[in-house]
């Protein structure tokens, strides 16, 4: 079930919001809901990272790579980093 959020705003700002929303064929509630969703989306790092890993996984899969291929590549990079660090 959806929950409500009560906000207080300047009456003139509320009138302007309603007028602009109507011009777009929306209600003020729809506009506020869209703004809040966009705000959360832009600041929700965990969701961003999950989506990023999803895109990476799809690209690897479409390239014909498996989880084993990725694990092997990670091991190789770690080995080379260890060797490089030992030379310093």
| SS3 call for 47 | helix
Q: Which of 41, 27, 40, 36 is nearest to 7 (CA)?
A: 36
3 within some domain:
no
4 within some domain:
no
Instruction: Collect all residues with Cβ–Cβ distance below 8 Å to 32 and sequence separation of at least 6.
Output: 7, 17
36 within some domain:
yes
Domain of 18? Answer: 11-43
59 within some domain:
yes
76 within some domain:
yes
Do 50 and 78 fall within a single domain?
yes
CA angle 25, 27, 28 (to 5 degrees): 130
pLDDT tens string, the chain, 88 residues long: the values are: 889 999 999 999 999 999 999 999 999 999 999 999 999 988 898 888 998 999 999 999 999 999 899 899 889 999 988 777 777 6
Number of compact structural domains in the chain: 2
Structure tokens at 29: 């509630």
pLDDT in tens, 20-43: 999 999 999 999 999 999 999 888
State the pLDDT at residue 88: 66
């Amino acid at each position: 079930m959806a929950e409500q959020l009560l906000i207080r705003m300047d009456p003139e700002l509320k009138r302007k919001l309603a007028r602009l929303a109507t011009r777009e064929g929306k209600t003020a509630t729809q506009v506020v809901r869209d703004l809040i969703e966009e705000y959360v989306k832009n600041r929700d790092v965990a969701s961003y990272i999950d989506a990023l890993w999803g895109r990476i996984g799809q690209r690897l899969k479409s390239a014909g790579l498996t989880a084993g291929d990725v694990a092997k590549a990670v091991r190789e990079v770690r080995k080379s980093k260890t060797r490089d660090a030992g030379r310093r």
